[in-house]
Amino acid sequence: MGRRITDVRVGGRPLDPARRYKATGWASLGEASGPPAWDVVAAHLRSVGHVRLEPAPARPRRLECQRESAPEEDPMLVALIAAILAAVAPAEAAHLTEQPKKHKVVYHLNEPSVDKARFVLGNIQNHIDGVGGMKNVEAIELVVHGPALRNFLTKDMNADIKRALDELKSQGVGFEACGNTMKAFSITLEQLPPGTKPLPQGGVVRVMELQEQGYVYIRP
């Protein structure tokens, strides 16, 4: 900080004083149309594929951005690459060892389609897999109400839905049925999968309660 940038290179080559280069920075030098500079640089870094910083043993430092099998000359000059790496690099997921966190999630399903039920159950499994398994999950609850509940009647439940639900329940996912829907459709607890938790207060009230307890709300 506080010193001029020197020995800036493009495509591994020093700047040519006889050439004109396209450059971006954080400070605006005048009004101009187009996307913000940080968006331009972020898009360029994504297209590059990888970024390498090569510190020299002493100042001046060498700042370089290269592309695999890139053309000999790259028209884009990334002057402040180190300052924006944090903005374009993927954020560390909260479930990683470096940032351990137990997730609490409520999934909400009320659409009548069998395909939708399969889709939501698949989302939940992908969610569990994506955070590294149930060891990184404090609780996941699936709250079902309205016409969607009919898809979970054990008498004629779709085989894919039954298989997916059984797998999720075996991992500890909670399955909860709206009590108001059960009354409206004359559904008894015995007609629903074993382990179903009835919600006498109603499905939407349960969703509210869980959100107030810090659960993340997801309605695919």
Q: Write out the DSSP string of 44-90.
A: HHHHH-----B--SSSSPBB----TT--S--SEE-TTHHHHHHHHSP
- Of 31, 64, 88, the residue at which a domain comes to its end is 88
Region 109-117: mean pLDDT is: 96
The answer to whether residues 35 and 69 belong to one domain is: yes
Same domain for 57 and 110? no
Pair 142, 53 in one domain: no
Q: Which domain covers residue 136, as residue numbers?
A: 103-218
Residues 150 and 73 in one domain: no
Per-residue pLDDT reduced to its tens digit, 58-111: 555 554 555 544 445 555 555 555 555 555 444 445 556 655 678 999 999 999
| Domain edge (last residue) among 58, 88, 118 | 88
Considering only residues 79 and 155, tell me which one the structure prediction assigns the higher pLDDT: 155
Domain boundary among 88, 116, 133: 88
- Split into its structural domains, the chain has a count of 2
Residue 45 within any structural domain of the chain:
yes
What mean pLDDT value characterizes the chain?
A: 80
Do residues 119 and 202 share a domain?
yes
Q: Is 116 in the same domain as 211?
A: yes
Burial class (CB in 10 A: 0-12, 13-18, 19+), 162: middle
Sheet holding 137-144, edge to edge: 197-199, 174-178, 137-144, 103-109, 216-218
